[in-house]
Structure 1
Amino acid sequence: MNRTLVPLALVPLFLLAGCGSATQTAPPSSGAPATTAPVVTPTITPGSTPAGLRPPTSTKEIEVERTTVASPTVTGARFGRHQGFDRVVIDLAGDVPGYTARWVPELVQDGSGDRIDVKGGAYLQLTMSPAIAHTGAGKPTWTGGPIFQAQLGNVQSVVKTGDFEGVVGVGIVLDHRAPFRVLEQKSPNRLVIDVAH
């Protein structure tokens, strides 16, 4: 079997992401907005799936209500392709917030309601509440974007749709509508959205 050595600094990223043959992350901000995430190829057997998961089978919208003592902070998003599905991981500092995942006709900016100009065949909107994506001084904790190009099997882009009044929005731009699931994972806390190819 042909193996490629990966710098040890990248190993924790792959363990946290639970992503397969291609993983992408949003780069740290250098002051200028970034719109494309770099591609990182881990040494995982092609076609492998996290914990043997099969592709999701339901298109039903999801709503989980939750209150927390302090608003969790969104610190970033990662995405990767697996056999039969794509995965988007939302990294959190603090508890897992309440969330909804629903189909929308287009993506709009939270607060203003302005349409976000991103093309796709379907749009899945993840809304987390209570949640924030900035520090007490107003500095963003999820840098870059607002549009991160993914170009996976079905997930085309991941979009920051807002950080407004205790609500953080993430739009997932798809090639086509397909079954999905939302998983909560701990240590560290994160929300995982899997979308079938």
Structure 2
Amino acid sequence: MVAPLACLSVLLAGCGTAQQTAGTLPRQTSSATATPGTPTSTTEVDVERPGMEPAVVTAVRYAAHATYDRLVVDLKGDIPGYSVKWVDEFVQDGSGKPLGVHGGAYLQLTLFPANAHDDQGRPTWAGGPVYQAGLDNLTGVVRTGDFEGRVGIGLVLGRRAPFQVTEKGSPSRLVLDVAH
């Protein structure tokens, strides 16, 4: 009885955030996966959605789960196109300057069309650019950019591992699970 209650309290408490927490209702899986919540692929993902209004990133949250770490991108508007790619290092969008974060592997999530600022240029995703996650595999989250309709979010990992991307609605969220 204690174990199920502990699990429930962890789920209800949410996750850490780059301002921190997480959600759970699946809508569509965009990478090869076996079961929701079980990352099984290291294949890069590219989803195109041309001609839509830019989504606005309102928060990025993260949390550890039993076998994976979860990153949730909260969005205002529809889920935009996105790519998830392995990179050698994180660089700032626009300038191309290295961000100087260290890890065992780097997974770059790029949303497009998207912004992380409002019409007056004020950030809609507070803090950063580097957030210390300290989870089992996800050690840090990096805001790599908000430039020309593209928002970059870097996942600093302890090691390269399978991942899966899931789209969730009401409200719009993009979820990226990475195995431990």
* TM-score for the superposition, normalised by structure 1: 0.77
- For residues 156-188 of structure 1, give each alpha carbon's deviation from its aligned partner in whole angstroms, at most 9, with x where no partner exists: 001100000000000000000000011100001
Percent identity over the alignment? Answer: 54
**Closer, same or farther: CA 148–95 of 1 in aligned 2, 3 Å:** same
Matched, 1:92 2:67: no
CA contact (8 A) 1:150 1:157 kept: yes
* 8 A Cα contact 1:25 1:78, kept in partner: yes
Matched, 1:56 2:48: no
How many residue pairs end up in the alignment?
166
Aligned 8 A contact 2:18 2:141 in 1 = no
Higher relative contact order at CA 8 Å, sep ≥6: structure 1 or structure 2? Answer: 2
Question: 1:119 is matched with which residue?
Answer: 102
> Does the 8 Å contact 1:68/1:97 carry over to 2?
no
Determine if the alignment matches structure 1 residue 184 to structure 2 residue 170.
no
Q: Could you give the per-residue CA deviations for residues 66-103 of structure 1, whole angstroms, max 9, x where no partner exists?
A: 02432100011000011111100000000100000000
Do 2:55 and 2:80's aligned partners in 1 also have CA atoms closer than 8 Å?
yes
Residue 154 in structure 1 maps to residue 137 in structure 2? yes
Partners of 1:50 and 1:177 in 2: CA distance? 26
Match of 2:31 in 1: none
- Specify the code of the residue in structure 2 equivalent to 1:76: A
**Cα deviations by residue, 1:35-79 (Å, 9 ceiling, x for unpaired):** xx6xx8x9xxxxxx9888342111000000002432100011000
> Which residue is equivalent to 1:102?
85
Q: Indicate the SS of the match to 1:173.
A: strand
Correspondence for 2:16? 24
The letter for the 2-side match of 1:124 is L
Compute the RMSD of aligned alpha carbons: 2.5
The Cα shift of 1:128 comes to: 0.6
Q: Structure 2, unaligned stretches of length 5 or more?
A: 27-34
Distance in 2 of aligned mates of 1:124 and 1:179: 11
Cα distance in 2 for residues equivalent to 1:50 and 1:119: 32
Amino acid at match of 2:82: Y
Q: Tell me which amino acid in the other structure corresponds to 2:97.
A: D
Q: Deviations over 1:19-45 (max 9, x none)?
A: 5xxx21234xxxxxxxxx6xx8x9xxx
Residues 37, 177 of structure 2: 8 Å contact kept: no
Residues 122-179 of structure 1: CA deviation (Å, up to 9, x unaligned) = 0000011100000110000001011111111100001100000000000000000000
Moved over 3 A (4+): 1-4, 49-54
